[in-house]
Amino acid sequence: MKTEGQAKVYEAQRQHMVDHQLRARGVHDERVLAAFAKVPREEFVPEDLRPAAYEDRALPIGYGQTISQPYMVAVMLEMLDVHSDHTVLEVGAGSGYQAALLSLLAKQVYAIEIIEPLAHRARATLAALGYTNVTVLCADGTLGYEPGAPYDRIIVAAACPELPPPLVAQLKEGGRIVAPVGRRGVQECVVGVKRGEELEITKTLGCVFVPLVGAYGWKRRAW
């Protein structure tokens, strides 16, 4: 439990993050910024790391995984261009933080996490904070999630060798997918827009994510 004083400190740190790490560095989407100003990131990191919750970096969440850097999440969410009537699929739910942001931007969110204890914890955190339009699933997200398809938007929060074909198949016509594509240490954030059978690809900034595993992910030796 947080005291009222602690809650105020986190709130001030959160607003500082929005102003200095996001807005000042070129994130302009007001809906994205408002979501960052609302979601308590400290609730999604291990208790001993809470004092570092609003530093602009990825933090360990256990099982060799991380909660992504806020700036990178903001840039990717801006590129994703989520509308309030959208159904969104997130692959790599991790702590559930990005799913919480997405829940404020979209109508319905499906968030898939392959590591069971992380999926459980993300589900519990999101429920405790009252994010009711997010469904957390424990499965291989490279296969997508057919019952929720087709999706207006898909975001992948782990480094892919290539865009997983099932995700492209589960995207709506005109829908958009944002994913880091590349290998250890050298990924590019890719934006794909579905136009019939084609995917219109734009490569954007460089980024560093943990590997996507599973059927269309990295095999341990190749990564």
What positions carry a catalytic annotation? Answer: 68
Query: Which is nearer to ligand SAH, 175 or 217 (by Cβ)?
Result: 217
Classify residue 66 as exposed, middle or buried by CB count within 10 Å of its CB (0-12, 13-18, 19+): buried
Structure tokens that stand for 98 in this block: 């990005």
Structure tokens that stand for 89 in this block: 């699929």
Query: Which is nearer to ligand SAH, 198 or 215 (by Cβ)?
Result: 215
Q: How far is the CB of 5 from ligand SAH (least distance, A)?
A: 27
Query: Which is nearer to ligand SAH, 26 or 63 (by Cβ)?
Result: 63
Work out whether 105 is an interface residue with ligand SAH (CB under 6 A). Answer: no
Work out whether 103 is an interface residue with ligand SAH (CB under 6 A). Answer: no
Q: How far is the CB of 207 from ligand SAH (least distance, A)?
A: 12
- The site map against ligand SAH for 111-140 (x = CB under 6 A) is -xxxx--x---------------------x
CA dist 122 and 164 (Å) reads: 23
Work out whether 166 is an interface residue with ligand SAH (CB under 6 A). Answer: no
Element (H, E) at 67: strand 65-67
Residue of the chain from 75, 102, 163, 210 that contacts ligand SAH (CB under 6 A)? 210
Q: How many residues does the chain have?
A: 223
Q: How far is the CB of 218 from ligand SAH (least distance, A)?
A: 9
DSSP conformational letter for 203: E
Work out whether 187 is an interface residue with ligand SAH (CB under 6 A). Answer: no
Q: Do 111 and 101 contact (CB within 8 A), yes or no?
A: no
Query: Which is nearer to ligand SAH, 66 or 87 (by Cβ)?
Result: 66
Query: Which is nearer to ligand SAH, 42 or 113 (by Cβ)?
Result: 113
Structure tokens that stand for 206 in this block: 């460089």
Handedness of CA 26, 125, 6, 61 (dihedral sign): negative
Peptide bond into 150 cis (omega under 30): yes
Q: Do 193 and 175 contact (CB within 8 A), yes or no?
A: yes
Binding site for ligand SAH (CB under 6 A): 65-68, 91-95, 97-98, 112-115, 118, 140-142, 157-158, 210, 212-214, 217
